[in-house]
């Protein structure tokens, strides 16, 4: 155990004695109590859609980049519709508690009392949203809401009390209380591309599990399924497992509001039943089984392939065309044209060159090898919606003759973005492809289905950024264990802990007090009338470990509180897994 060092945290910080990083995001868990009257609205002037954005800490209402960029990206798309709409930067304090923004402050500390004021700010934002939406007399008006950082806390705190039918979509950015259960463990499911939360829209860090300030669990209720999405920058200290403040403050410059606006607009188009002409660019590769048994289907398949290619190219996307048979024939996938060469004319020429013949002695074909080959050898563009459309009347070898497995194909699909597999096959082989379609977030239909609807589904999809990346860490995750916690006066408590971290973030009631390298600290400015929660977060050079929390419960006497601490101190098991 390292030598114990002692640090006292007081509002009366002595400049130069200790160095802290202050990060101005905080929230106090308090009950939401409606405090605003119903909003009166003239029904004759009711818009179809209202968009409300909740800004981050210390930001000036309307005059902040996050609101302005979010508004401009979404409005550019709403202008292409016939909807009437309004935008608003939520009228709530968005208090900064001593800082105007999320910059690193050296030698500054603000007392615990400020955390209570900040909790009130978040509650005001949540209550304001509830009252605006639930009491709107424009009964047909729908809502889109979004929040950044502290605004994300306000949005998520109010979301469960909002009437679901009035909500089109809610988006959070840099949410300090994100919850992604698939990110937990030494080798998280998310790092394999498995069990991704439906609201996980863009969280590239596969180890993102809970936010810096804990987690909202459950993150959404069943009534909000399909109506909520979260974006977390790759190294954002508040919602990823990494330690970057600049990553938290760059949502307006990293194109994530543009990314969100495409998805939100697709939700709006579906809600109001109009055609969405503004989707992400498409990369669509078409892979046709050209064995002899396809003779009865090839003409119909080619017709639909041409229709899909035409729609993709007309929308500014790219197409590629391949055919495959069985490696045992032998026959390797033949590239008729790729993303860099396919025009509508070259695509038609490629289609005309594909004929149904041969096929070997067995029924399954070498689809796994062919699909792996196509994914690996085409240059998929970042930010595109990626599809691999497979046209076949046969099952597939698993593993394939060259050793390619189902899991190889799944992993490469996820690694690229993913590439979603859309399989058109006969009714007798529908079950053969359901697992492959599910593993790649795609779909499978039969030749008796309406193929036109499948093409439309593919084209209307939105999936511009990867939901998750399979990333490795360059260092072990730091761990921390609390050894003791003791209330020592009316407004102070001492906490001692053991850690292998280089430094530790100290949090009181979701107020981030600062960064310390000491292993014994004294928290000052406690409010003895509240249950005070102290959280310690271990940090390495660029990675944060799992937060460890102890509660200092309000009690009639200090001795009684100390006894409660001793009884309740059950620290979380440290995560020391290495990837």
Instruction: Decide if 139 contacts 47 (C-beta within 8 A).
Output: no
Mean pLDDT of 389-400: 92
Least confident of 20-29, 87-96, 473-482, 558-567: 20-29
pLDDT of res. 448: 59
Give residue 104's pLDDT. Answer: 33
Query: Given 225, 252, 272, which residue is the final one in a domain?
Result: 272
> Does pLDDT of 579 surpass 80?
no
- Domain of 291, CATH number, reads 3.40.50.410
Q: Identify the residue with better confidence: 493 or 351.
A: 351
More confident residue, 467 or 343: 343
Number of domains the chain is built from: 2
What does the pLDDT look like over 246-302, one tens digit per residue? 889 899 888 899 989 989 998 999 999 988 766 667 899 999 999 888 877 788 788
Alpha-carbon distance of 434 to 149, in angstroms, equals 39
Boundaries of domain holding 320: 282-460
3-state secondary structure 173-202: ECCCCCECHHHCCCCCHHHHCCCCCCCEEE
pLDDT of residue 508: 78
Which run of H or of E encompasses 337? strand 334-337
The pLDDT assigned to 350 comes to: 94
Confidence of residue 18 (pLDDT cuts 50, 70, 90): very low
Nearest-CA neighbor of 71 among 86, 92, 91, 56? Answer: 86
Whether 243 and 294 map to the same domain: the answer is: no
Predicted confidence (pLDDT) at residue 64 exceeds the cutoff of 60: yes
Q: Are residues 286 and 417 in the same domain?
A: yes
Residue 467 lies in a domain: no
Residue 239, both tokens: 């919602």
Query: Does 13 have pLDDT greater than 60?
Result: no
Average pLDDT of the residues in 404-428? 89
Annotate 153-176 with three-state secondary structure.
HHHHHHHCCCCHHHEEEEEEECCC
> How does residue 370 score in pLDDT terms, banded at 50, 70 and 90?
very high
Give the separation between CA 337 and CA 313, rounded to whole angstroms. 14
Domain-terminating residue out of 223, 238, 272: 272
Report which of 364, 376, 386 is spatially closest to residue 440, judged by C-alpha positions: 386
CA distance 88 to 35: 19
Residues 74 and 194 in one domain: yes
Q: Which of 373, 514, 572 is nearest to 13 (CA)?
A: 514
Higher pLDDT, 238 or 42: 238
pLDDT confidence of residue 416: 85
Q: What is the pLDDT of residues 433-457, one digit of tens each?
A: 998 988 888 888 876 555 565 666 6
CB-side exposure of 62: number of CA atoms within 13 Å?
A: 3
Residues in the chain: 579
Evaluate whether 178 touches 202 at the Cβ level (below 8 Å).
no
**Does residue 92 sit in the same domain as residue 223?**
yes
The segment with the largest mean pLDDT, out of 275-289, 408-422, 552-566, is: 408-422
3-state secondary structure of 44: helix
Average of pLDDT values for 360-375? Answer: 88
pLDDT band at 22 (very low <50, low <70, confident <90, very high): very low
- Residue 13 to residue 365: CA distance in whole angstroms: 72
What is the C-alpha to C-alpha distance for residues 573 and 579, in angstroms, rounded to an integer? Answer: 18
Q: Is residue 417 part of a domain?
A: yes
Q: What percent of the chain has pLDDT over 70?
A: 78
Q: pLDDT-based confidence at 461, cuts 50/70/90?
A: low
Q: Does residue 357 have a cis bond before it (omega within 30 degrees)?
A: no
Query: Are 264 and 341 found together in one domain?
Result: no
Q: Is 539 within a domain?
A: no
**Average pLDDT score over residue span 402-424:** 90
DSSP 399-429: S-TTS--HHHHHHHHHHHS-PEEEEEE-GGG
Asked if residue 232 lies in contact with residue 175, where contact means CB atoms within 8 angstroms, the answer is yes
Residue 158 confidence (pLDDT): 97
| Same structural domain, 319 and 238 | no
pLDDT single digits (tens) 148-164: 999 999 999 999 999 99
On whether residue 434 sits in a domain, the answer given is yes
* C-alpha pair distances (Å), 442 with each of 242, 327, 408, 414, 454: 31, 25, 17, 12, 11
**If you search the block for the tokens 């310390």, which residue do you land on?**
516
The string of pLDDT tens digits covering residues 160-211 is 999 999 999 999 999 999 999 999 988 899 988 788 899 999 999 999 999 9
Final residue before a domain boundary, out of 460, 490, 523 = 460
Q: Dmax over Cα atoms in the chain, in whole Å?
A: 87
**What is the structure's pLDDT at 15?**
30
The number of beta carbons lying within 10 Å of the beta carbon of residue 140 is 10
Q: Does residue 42 sit in the same domain as residue 185?
A: yes
DSSP output for 79-116:
TTSS--EEEEE--S----TT-SSS---BT----THHHH
Residue pair 327/350 in contact (Cβ under 8 Å)? The answer is no
- Assess whether 94 and 133 both reside in one domain: yes
Q: How far apart are CA 427 and CA 443, in angstroms?
A: 14
Confidence class for position 464, pLDDT limits 50, 70, 90: low
Q: Is the pLDDT of residue 41 over 50?
A: no
440 and 367 in a common domain: yes
Residue 316 CB: number of other CB atoms within 10 A? 10
Phi-psi region of 117 (alpha: psi -120 to 50; beta: other; left: phi over 0): alpha
Q: Give residue for tokens 């003409």.
A: 299
> What strand order describes the sheet that includes 520-523?
6-9, 520-523, 493-499, 480-487
Return the closest-CA partner of residue 97 out of 81, 119, 78, 75.
119
Q: Is 411 among the domain residues?
A: yes
Do 108 and 209 sit in the same domain of this protein? yes
> What CATH code is carried by the domain that includes residue 259?
3.40.50.1820
Q: How far apart are CA 229 and CA 218, in angstroms?
A: 14
Average pLDDT in the chain:
80
Flag whether pLDDT at 238 surpasses 70: yes
Side-chain half-sphere CA neighbours of 294 within 13 A: 28
Cα–Cα–Cα angle for 510, 131, 118, rounded to 5 degrees: 20
Count Cβ atoms within 10 A of the Cβ of residue 124 and give its class: 0-12 exposed, 13-18 middle, 19 or more buried.
Answer: buried
State how far Cα 369 lies from the chain centre.
31
Choice between 507 and 81, residue whose per-residue pLDDT is larger: 81
With a CB cutoff of 8 Å and minimum separation 6, the contacts of 204 are: 232, 234, 466, 468, 469, 471
Q: What's this model's pTM, rounded to 2 decimal places?
A: 0.67
pLDDT recorded at residue 192:
80
- 127: in domain: yes
Q: Examine residue 572 and say whether the peptide bond preceding it is cis (omega within 30 degrees of 0).
A: no
| Lowest mean pLDDT across 21-25, 436-440, 542-546 | 21-25
| 240 and 222 assigned to the same domain | yes
Assess if residue 7 is contained within a domain: no
For 83, the token pair is 């909807």
Q: Supply the pLDDT for residue 77.
A: 93
Kindly state whether residue 44 falls inside one of the protein's structural domains: yes
* Same domain assignment for residues 241 and 347: no
């Amino acid at each position: 155990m390292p030598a114990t060092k002692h640090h006292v945290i007081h509002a009366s910080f002595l400049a130069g004695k200790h160095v802290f990083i202050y990060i101005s995001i905080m929230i106090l868990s308090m009950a939401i109590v409606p405090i605003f009257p119903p909003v009166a609205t003239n029904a004759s002037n009711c818009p179809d859609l209202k968009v409300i954005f909740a800004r981050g800490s210390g930001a000036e209402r309307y005059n902040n980049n996050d609101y302005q960029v979010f508004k401009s990206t979404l409005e550019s798309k709403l202008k292409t519709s016939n909807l009437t709409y309004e935008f608003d930067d939520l009228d709530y304090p968005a208090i900064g508690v001593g800082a105007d923004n999320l910059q690193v402050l050296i030698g500054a500390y603000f007392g615990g009392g400020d955390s209570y004021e900040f909790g009130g700010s978040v509650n005001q934002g949540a209550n304001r949203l509830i009252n605006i939406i639930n009491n709107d007399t424009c009964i047909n008006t729908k809502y889109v809401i979004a929040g950044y950082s502290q605004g994300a806390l306000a949005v998520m705190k109010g979301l469960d009390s909002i009437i679901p039918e009035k909500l089109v979509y809610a988006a959070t950015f840099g949410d300090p209380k994100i919850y992604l259960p698939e990110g937990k463990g030494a080798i998280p499911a998310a790092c394999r591309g498995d069990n991704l939360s439906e609201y996980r829209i863009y969280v590239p860090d596969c180890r993102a599990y809970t936010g810096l300030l804990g987690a909202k669990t459950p993150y959404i209720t069943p009534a909000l399924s399909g109506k909520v999405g979260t974006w977390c920058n790759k190294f954002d200290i508040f919602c990823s497992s990494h330690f970057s403040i600049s990553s938290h403050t760059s949502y307006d410059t990293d194109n994530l509001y543009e990314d969100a606006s495409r998805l939100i607009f697709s939700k709006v188009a579906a809600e109001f039943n109009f055609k969405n002409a503004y989707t992400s660019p498409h990369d669509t590769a078409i892979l046709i089984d050209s064995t002899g048994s396809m003779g009865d289907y090839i003409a119909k398949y080619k017709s639909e392939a041409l229709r899909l290619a035409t729609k993709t190219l007309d929308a500014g996307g790219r197409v590629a065309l391949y055919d495959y048979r069985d490696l045992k024939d032998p026959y390797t996938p033949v590239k008729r044209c790729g993303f860099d060469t396919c025009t509508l004319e070259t695509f038609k020429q490629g289609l005309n060159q594909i004929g149904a013949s041969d096929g070997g002695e067995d029924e399954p074909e070498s689809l796994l090898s062919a699909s792996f080959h196509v994914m690996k050898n085409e240059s998929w563009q970042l930010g595109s919606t990626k599809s691999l459309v497979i046209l076949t009347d046969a099952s597939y070898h698993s593993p394939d003759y060259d050793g390619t497995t189902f899991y190889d194909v799944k992993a490469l699909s996820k690694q690229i973005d993913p590439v979603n597999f859309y399989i058109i096959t006969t009714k007798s082989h529908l079950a053969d492809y359901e697992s492959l379609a599910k593993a790649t977030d795609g779909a499978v239909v039969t030749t008796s289905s309406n193929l036109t609807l499948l093409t439309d589904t593919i084209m209307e999809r939105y999936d511009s950024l990867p939901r998750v990346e399979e990333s490795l860490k360059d260092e072990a995750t730091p761990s921390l264990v609390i050894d003791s916690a003791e209330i020592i006066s009316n407004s102070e408590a001492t906490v001692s802990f053991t850690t292998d971290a280089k430094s530790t973030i100290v949090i009181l009631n979701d107020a981030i007090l600062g960064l310390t390298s000491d292993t014994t600290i004294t928290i000052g400015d406690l409010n003895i009338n509240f249950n005070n929660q102290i959280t310690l977060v271990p940090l390495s050079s660029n990675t944060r470990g799992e937060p460890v929390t102890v509660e200092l419960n309000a009690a009639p006497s200090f001795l009684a509180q100390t006894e409660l601490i001793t009884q309740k101190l059950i620290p979380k098991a440290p995560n020391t897994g290495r990837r």
